[in-house]
Chains A and B, each alone.
Chain A
Amino acid sequence: MVVLWWSANLAFGASAPYASPTNIFAPASTPADSIFGLSLFVLAVSAAIFVLVVGLLAYCVVKFRKREDDDGREPPQVYGSNQVELAWTVIPVLIVVALFMATARVIATVQNPARTSNTIEIVAIGHQFWWEYRYPGLKVVTANELHVPVSDLAHPTPTHIELLSADTDHSFWVPRLAGKTDLIPNHPNNTWIDPHETGLYLGQCAQYCGTQHAKMLLRVYVQSQEDFERWIEEQRRPAQLSAAVSEGQHIFETTACINCHTVSGTVANGRFGPDLTHLMSRDTIAAGAAANNPENLRRWIQNPETIKPGSLMPAMQLNDREVDAVTAYLETLR
């Protein structure tokens, strides 16, 4: 069984790195890559110890079992040996020293990175049960889907993320980009990533934060420089309002929706829930729990419990016509 497990570990590392979009053995960013290197070393040392000790155990079990033709006498009694004890104290100490040195080096490189002038600064704020992202230098606020530029080795543009929490403890974990770091209220933390390839990287909250901890999903879109800049431009625009959906806008702005949600350029300026100014630029709603399509959006507005039971958004008790109108309004927020 365990042999199976070990070989599965190694196979996952070597031959099928994309078997899972969240495989820790398929790093695509420097912190994850440094950890991957260390993990191979630790795994190799562990495998060697495993083979040695299990070999000894198996040898004992086979060789020293009581035989059929036993003479019934007790075996020679051995009480100990200082030389042997010394050997299996000193050798493990040396192994520990080697593992410790390798580990300490990776801690230093990952935790104390050199800051460059073209670092993107982002603030991530954990909420029950969604992510708020603010780009203070770029004046962009968004939710749940993080966009960052790719960082090629010639022109590195690492992303530095300050991690805050609005309520309980959360943890930011996108396995292919970096190890996890917790978001703790009153205790600002940091992490950084420098993804080498464009694409979508998945993860999710890794610290139990309440009822819907399971559906607090993370999506990181790594884009080329041009795409990223275009995305920033779009996100900086205020909401594009259309008279055709004024009924939905009216309902939205005269119910409790605006206590929690912001649509920039309108009276809606709540901060308890995600910013909706560019809602339709996102692929998902409800922190990645459902695809962002009209049907799901309507279900979500009508009763969030059907998609994410325990989410803090209340059902607003709107009738069918009102739900349609609000959905239509939200669909214009591009």
Chain B
Amino acid sequence: MSTDSIVWPRSESLSRPFVDQLHEWITTVDHKQLGIMYIVYALIFLVIGGVEATVMRIQLIRPHNDFVSPQVFNRMFTMHGTTMIFFVAMPIMFGFGNYLLPLMIGARDMAFPRLNAFSFWLTAFGGFLLYFSLLGANGLYGAGNAPDVGWFAYAPLTSLAFSTGHSTDFWTLSLLVSGFGSIGTAINIIATIVCMRCPGMTLGKMPLLAWLNLVMAGLVLLAVSPLTAAQIMLMIDRYLGGHFFDTQAGGSAVIWMHFFWIFGHPEVYVLIIPAFAFISEIVPVFSRKAMFGYPIMVAATVAIGFLSMSVWAHHMFTVGMSSNANTFFVLSTMAISVPTGIKIFNWLATMWGGKILFKTPMLFAIGFLFQFLIAGLTGVMLSAAPFDWQLGNSYFVVAHFHYVIVGGILFALFGAFYYWFPKMSGKMCSETLGRWHFWLFLIGFHLTFDFMHIPGLLGMPRRIYTYEPGRGWDTWNLIITVGVVFQSLGILVFVYNLLWSYFRGEIAGSDPWDAWTLEWSTSSPPPAYNFATIPTVRSRRPLWDLKHPQDPDWKYE
């Protein structure tokens, strides 16, 4: 029976009874099914986090609005931040990594399939635990409530004196549990890339996506571990009489900040490096050219990985560090813009002299390049510590990091969806709906996040549930909220496109984009075993070599 279930192609399994299918999905250790489960799980939380953002934007549409109470607003921004980082961005990146890595390096599964399933379910339960706080946080005493300490949960607001009840405990446990899941997945990704590459694929011939995921997984190991330690310390403070962060007993609030941001800043790179990976696959294929400067791209990524471990305290320029410490973190933060700039120039050089096809994935990739450039420049502004003394914790910062996460990471993700959906489902996405999605979301994004910089420059701090009239913030906040309408429409079109294409889309075939990496050499969707025979490669673009036997890559690399 076990041999049967291994060779069953997916198309047959769809016709089986629902209970059987459900059982298969729940017990699966297949990297493709787990990858899709990560992605679907993240999309559900994306909608939840989006609704939370919408509630906040309605509240802020005009000064002294009373759409929600301050208590509800504070829960909304805490849940929005926590959800989007831990239960949307990370799982969706792990999902794509899980799905694509074995296919792109010519392997039949991840190195540790059971650990893979275990990690997914840990992450999933972490998310459920966070949202169970809505029912369970106050226990027997009354209605539930969600965490309201902010997603970076600065001490001592999280201590029992200021955060009674159990909402903070749900937050802590949820991140602790999903953090173990992330560490498991990171170990798995590293082991897979290091040990499972097909014959001929030396480190220097891996697709860039594999290199970037390797760096990302290394960062997860280094960054999530201190966060996990800090959560345990916080639990000890709250229930076992510890005083790590208890300022009234001599503890240090600043230590929590260090723990959080030594996680928090590499975390940004944990999310953006896979986004770089998508762009590094999409831009060459739709420009019809090899990636320009592959070794430099790898070097720049590794440099970003190392530098990102030394910049965390730029989140703390206002906490009163010495001028020497501030100066050091200015330098390390500015230095990171050099390898990042190199990446942007290499993508442009890849497009240079190509024949660019403006399919939906490429549209999102160009959107990414444009917005990531701006996000980088506002990042340079924030890295100048004195400028940060004005801009830090204002709406300028909120605009900056949404430019990174939405304008950069989410645009790259949408590109990845349109690019790999044919591989995952066997069906093409609708180009027309894809264009509607792109333009609606682009307009909404720019309405919201371009104009969000301005109230920051005019002194509006973040995390306020309402604001005073007469500060010159009113019009900008109105425009920002209007942008939400366009973004929501864009997301609706996106979800509709996924569903419509899944059922009605054109058959994709194994290689709809005329692409060059190994995942396009197997059927769409791939069989459970991925490849009938393990491929052997001689260059970074094995399918280019097959398609152009007279002019193969391996002659030039």
Chain A positions within 8 Å of B, measured between CB atoms, are 1-2, 4-5, 8-9, 12, 19-25, 32, 34-35, 38-39, 42-43, 45-46, 49-50, 53-54, 56-57, 60-61, 64-67, 70, 74-81, 84-85, 88-89, 92-93, 96, 99-100, 102-104, 106-108, 110-112, 128, 163, 167-169, 171, 173, 175, 178-182, 184-187, 189-190, 202-215, 217, 309-310
Contacts and interface: CB of A to CB of B under 8 A. Distances in A.
Interface hub of B154, B250, B384 (most chain A Cβ within 10 A): B384
A60 B458 CA distance: 36
B508 interface: no
Interface string B424-454: 0000000000000000000000110011011
A92 B338 contact: yes
Given A77-B289, A168-B156, A184-B320, A54 B373 contact: yes
A185 B255 CA distance: 12
B338 A93 contact: yes
Specify the main secondary structure of chain A where it touches its partner: mixed
B323 A180 contact: no
6 tightest CB-CB pairs across the interface, nearest first?
A179-B389, A22-B459, A20-B472, A214-B464, A189-B320, A1-B446
Given A20-B459, A24-B459, A39 B556 contact: no
Contact of A23 (B154, B381, B472): B472
A33 B531 CA distance: 65
Nearest to A180: B318
A310 B71 contact: yes
B296 interface: yes
Interface in B322-342: 322-323, 326-327, 330-331, 334-335, 337-338, 341-342
B517 to A, nearest CB: 15
B387 A35 contact: yes
B355 A103 contact: no
Given A20-B473, A22-B459, A79-B290, A185 B156 contact: yes
Contacts of B12: none
A205 B461 CA distance: 8
Contacts of A23: 457-459, 472
Nearest to B467: A214
Nearest to B466: A214
Given A21-B470, A107-B386, A185-B248, A66 B356 contact: yes
Contacts of B454: 5, 8-9, 12
A110 B386 contact: yes
A112 to B, nearest CB: 6
B369 A182 contact: no
Contacts of A85: 293, 296, 342, 346
Nearest to A70: B355
A206 B292 contact: no
Given A2-B450, A175-B459, A204-B464, 9 more contacts: A4-B450, A5-B453, A39-B384, A66-B288, A77-B551, A111-B322, A111-B326, A202-B459, A207-B393
Nearest to B253: A184
Contacts of B289: 75, 77-78
29 contacts: A12-B454, A32-B390, A38-B384, A39-B381, A45-B380, A46-B378, A57-B373, A60-B348, A65-B358, A70-B355, A77-B290, A80-B294, A85-B342, A103-B334, A107-B386, A111-B323, A163-B320, A168-B154, A171-B393, A180-B392, A181-B318, A187-B247, A187-B320, A206-B318, A211-B71, A211-B74, A214-B463, A215-B466, A310-B69
A179 B390 contact: yes
B237 to A, nearest CB: 14
Nearest to A36: B390
Contacts of A34: 386
A81 B292 CA distance: 8
A115 to B, nearest CB: 15
B157 interface: yes
A79 B557 contact: yes
B381 to A, nearest CB: 5
A163 B318 CA distance: 12
A24 B457 contact: yes
A186 B251 contact: yes
Given A53-B373, A57-B370, A96-B337, A103 B386 contact: yes
Contacts of A4: 450
B373 A50 contact: yes
Contacts of A204: 461, 464
A190 B389 CA distance: 13
